[in-house]
Protein backbone atom coordinates (compact mmCIF):
# COMPACT_ATOMS: atom_id res chain seq x y z
CA UNK A 1 0.00 0.00 0.00
CA UNK A 2 2.52 2.72 0.97
CA UNK A 3 4.99 3.68 -1.73
CA UNK A 4 7.75 6.27 -1.99
CA UNK A 5 8.81 8.49 0.89
CA UNK A 6 7.40 11.84 -0.26
CA UNK A 7 8.87 13.97 2.53
CA UNK A 8 10.20 14.11 6.05
CA UNK A 9 8.82 17.06 8.02
CA UNK A 10 10.74 19.00 10.64
CA UNK A 11 8.96 21.44 12.97
CA UNK A 12 11.21 24.45 13.53
CA UNK A 13 11.15 27.39 15.98
CA UNK A 14 12.46 29.81 13.32
CA UNK A 15 11.48 29.09 9.72
CA UNK A 16 13.68 31.71 8.08
CA UNK A 17 16.75 30.63 10.05
CA UNK A 18 16.15 26.93 9.27
CA UNK A 19 15.61 27.65 5.57
CA UNK A 20 18.77 29.77 5.44
CA UNK A 21 20.75 27.02 7.15
CA UNK A 22 19.62 24.44 4.60
CA UNK A 23 20.31 26.89 1.74
CA UNK A 24 23.76 28.08 2.84
CA UNK A 25 25.28 25.69 5.37
CA UNK A 26 23.84 22.57 3.74
CA UNK A 27 23.78 23.88 0.15
CA UNK A 28 20.31 22.54 -0.52
CA UNK A 29 17.63 23.54 -3.03
CA UNK A 30 15.25 25.51 -0.79
CA UNK A 31 11.86 26.67 -2.02
CA UNK A 32 9.83 29.70 -0.88
CA UNK A 33 7.74 29.80 2.29
CA UNK A 34 4.08 29.04 1.64
CA UNK A 35 1.17 29.52 4.03
CA UNK A 36 -1.19 26.58 4.38
CA UNK A 37 -4.15 28.03 6.33
CA UNK A 38 -6.20 24.83 6.05
CA UNK A 39 -3.43 23.08 7.97
CA UNK A 40 -2.38 25.90 10.31
CA UNK A 41 1.23 25.93 9.14
CA UNK A 42 3.74 27.85 7.07
CA UNK A 43 5.97 25.45 5.15
CA UNK A 44 9.21 25.47 3.19
CA UNK A 45 10.05 22.50 0.96
CA UNK A 46 13.65 21.47 0.35
CA UNK A 47 14.16 19.29 -2.72
CA UNK A 48 16.68 16.46 -2.36
CA UNK A 49 17.68 13.99 -5.07
CA UNK A 50 15.56 11.21 -3.53
CA UNK A 51 12.88 12.94 -1.42
CA UNK A 52 11.92 16.26 0.18
CA UNK A 53 12.28 17.90 3.55
CA UNK A 54 9.32 19.94 4.77
CA UNK A 55 10.12 22.66 7.30
CA UNK A 56 7.03 23.46 9.39
CA UNK A 57 6.19 26.56 11.41
CA UNK A 58 2.90 27.35 13.18
CA UNK A 59 0.71 29.78 11.25
CA UNK A 60 -1.25 30.68 14.40
CA UNK A 61 -1.84 29.60 18.00
CA UNK A 62 -4.44 27.06 16.84
CA UNK A 63 -1.84 25.26 14.73
CA UNK A 64 -1.76 21.47 15.27
CA UNK A 65 2.02 21.68 15.72
CA UNK A 66 1.95 24.09 18.66
CA UNK A 67 1.92 21.24 21.20
CA UNK A 68 4.84 19.56 19.48
CA UNK A 69 6.96 22.74 19.53
CA UNK A 70 6.03 23.38 23.17
CA UNK A 71 7.44 19.95 24.01
CA UNK A 72 10.34 20.33 21.58
CA UNK A 73 11.34 24.02 21.68
CA UNK A 74 14.46 23.42 19.56
CA UNK A 75 12.32 21.69 16.93
CA UNK A 76 12.33 18.09 15.79
CA UNK A 77 11.26 15.54 13.22
CA UNK A 78 7.49 15.93 13.07
CA UNK A 79 6.16 13.43 10.51
CA UNK A 80 6.93 11.12 7.62
CA UNK A 81 4.85 11.34 4.45
CA UNK A 82 4.36 8.19 2.39
CA UNK A 83 2.76 8.14 -1.06
CA UNK A 84 -0.29 6.00 -1.81
CA UNK A 85 -2.15 5.37 -5.07
CA UNK A 86 -5.63 5.50 -3.56
CA UNK A 87 -6.02 7.43 -0.30
CA UNK A 88 -9.63 6.39 0.29
CA UNK A 89 -8.78 2.71 -0.10
CA UNK A 90 -5.80 3.25 2.21
CA UNK A 91 -8.02 5.01 4.77
CA UNK A 92 -10.62 2.25 4.72
CA UNK A 93 -7.94 -0.41 5.17
CA UNK A 94 -6.37 1.47 8.07
CA UNK A 95 -9.72 2.03 9.80
CA UNK A 96 -10.56 -1.66 9.31
CA UNK A 97 -7.23 -2.49 10.96
CA UNK A 98 -8.11 -0.28 13.94
CA UNK A 99 -5.74 2.59 13.19
CA UNK A 100 -6.83 6.12 14.06
CA UNK A 101 -7.12 8.47 11.08
CA UNK A 102 -6.90 12.03 12.40
CA UNK A 103 -9.58 14.66 11.88
CA UNK A 104 -12.83 13.36 10.43
CA UNK A 105 -11.04 10.81 8.19
CA UNK A 106 -11.80 12.95 5.15
CA UNK A 107 -8.69 13.74 3.09
CA UNK A 108 -7.69 17.41 2.89
CA UNK A 109 -5.68 18.98 0.12
CA UNK A 110 -2.04 19.21 1.17
CA UNK A 111 0.89 21.40 0.17
CA UNK A 112 1.31 19.66 -3.19
CA UNK A 113 -2.35 20.07 -4.13
CA UNK A 114 -2.96 16.36 -3.47
CA UNK A 115 -5.27 14.67 -0.91
CA UNK A 116 -3.57 13.91 2.42
CA UNK A 117 -4.47 12.15 5.66
CA UNK A 118 -2.68 11.79 8.99
CA UNK A 119 -2.42 8.70 11.22
CA UNK A 120 -2.05 8.95 14.98
CA UNK A 121 1.59 8.65 16.12
CA UNK A 122 0.68 6.40 19.03
CA UNK A 123 -0.57 3.76 16.55
CA UNK A 124 2.70 3.76 14.60
CA UNK A 125 5.57 3.50 17.07
CA UNK A 126 5.52 7.15 18.02
CA UNK A 127 5.72 8.32 14.39
CA UNK A 128 3.11 10.69 12.97
CA UNK A 129 2.40 9.44 9.46
CA UNK A 130 1.01 11.48 6.59
CA UNK A 131 -0.33 9.75 3.50
CA UNK A 132 -0.41 11.65 0.20
CA UNK A 133 -2.22 10.37 -2.86
CA UNK A 134 -0.07 10.81 -5.97
C1 LIG B 1 0.17 21.67 4.24
C2 LIG B 1 0.04 20.29 4.69
C3 LIG B 1 1.40 19.70 4.94
C4 LIG B 1 1.68 18.66 3.85
O5 LIG B 1 2.71 17.98 3.93
O6 LIG B 1 0.88 18.60 2.88
C7 LIG B 1 1.51 19.09 6.32
O8 LIG B 1 2.25 18.18 6.56
S9 LIG B 1 0.51 19.80 7.55
C10 LIG B 1 1.36 19.25 9.08
C11 LIG B 1 0.63 19.74 10.29
N12 LIG B 1 -0.61 19.04 10.49
C13 LIG B 1 -0.69 17.95 11.27
O14 LIG B 1 0.28 17.53 11.89
C15 LIG B 1 -2.05 17.29 11.36
C16 LIG B 1 -1.99 16.02 12.17
N17 LIG B 1 -1.52 16.28 13.52
C18 LIG B 1 -2.41 16.37 14.57
O19 LIG B 1 -3.61 16.24 14.44
C20 LIG B 1 -1.78 16.65 15.92
O21 LIG B 1 -0.48 17.17 15.75
C22 LIG B 1 -1.66 15.36 16.81
C23 LIG B 1 -3.06 14.84 17.13
C24 LIG B 1 -0.83 14.30 16.13
C25 LIG B 1 -0.96 15.75 18.10
O26 LIG B 1 -1.57 16.91 18.61
P27 LIG B 1 -1.14 17.45 20.04
O28 LIG B 1 0.34 17.45 20.18
O29 LIG B 1 -1.83 18.74 20.30
O30 LIG B 1 -1.84 16.36 20.93
P31 LIG B 1 -1.31 15.61 22.19
O32 LIG B 1 -0.41 16.49 23.00
O33 LIG B 1 -2.52 15.01 22.83
O34 LIG B 1 -0.41 14.46 21.55
C35 LIG B 1 -0.81 13.11 21.72
C36 LIG B 1 0.47 12.31 21.89
O37 LIG B 1 1.15 12.29 20.62
C38 LIG B 1 2.45 12.84 20.79
N39 LIG B 1 2.74 13.57 19.58
C40 LIG B 1 2.22 14.74 19.16
N41 LIG B 1 2.73 15.10 17.96
C42 LIG B 1 3.61 14.13 17.63
C43 LIG B 1 4.48 13.91 16.53
N44 LIG B 1 4.54 14.80 15.53
N45 LIG B 1 5.24 12.80 16.50
C46 LIG B 1 5.17 11.91 17.52
N47 LIG B 1 4.39 12.03 18.63
C48 LIG B 1 3.62 13.14 18.65
C49 LIG B 1 2.38 13.74 22.01
O50 LIG B 1 3.66 13.88 22.56
C51 LIG B 1 1.45 12.92 22.89
O52 LIG B 1 2.18 11.85 23.41
P53 LIG B 1 2.16 11.59 25.01
O54 LIG B 1 3.11 10.46 25.21
O55 LIG B 1 0.71 11.27 25.32
O56 LIG B 1 2.60 12.90 25.64
CO1 LIG C 1 3.68 16.99 5.46
pTM of the model: 0.97
Per annotation, catalytic residue among 36, 54, 83, 130: 130
- Domain count for the chain: 1
User: Which ligand 1 atom is nearest residue 116's CA?
Assistant: 6
Helix/strand/coil for 6: strand
CA distance 5 to 7: 6
Domain ranges, residue 81: 5-133
CB of 36 closer than 6 A to ligand 1?
A: yes
Q: Cα-flanking dihedrals φ and ψ of residue 51, to 5°?
A: -170, -165
pLDDT per residue of the chain (134 residues) written in tens, 0 to 9: 999 999 999 999 999 999 999 999 999 999 999 999 999 999 999 999 999 999 999 999 999 999 999 999 999 999 999 999 999 999 999 999 999 999 999 999 999 999 999 999 999 999 999 999 99
Centre of ligand 2 from the C-alpha of residue 97, in Å: 23
What ipTM does this complex have?
0.98
Residues 6+ apart with CB under 8 A from 34: 42, 43, 44, 111
Q: What is the pLDDT of residue 60?
A: 97
- CATH number, position 101: 3.10.180.10
130 has catalytic annotation: yes
Amino acid sequence: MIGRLNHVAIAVPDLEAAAAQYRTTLGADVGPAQDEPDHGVRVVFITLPNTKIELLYPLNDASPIMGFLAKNPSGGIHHMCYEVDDILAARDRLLADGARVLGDSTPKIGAHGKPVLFLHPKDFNGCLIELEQV
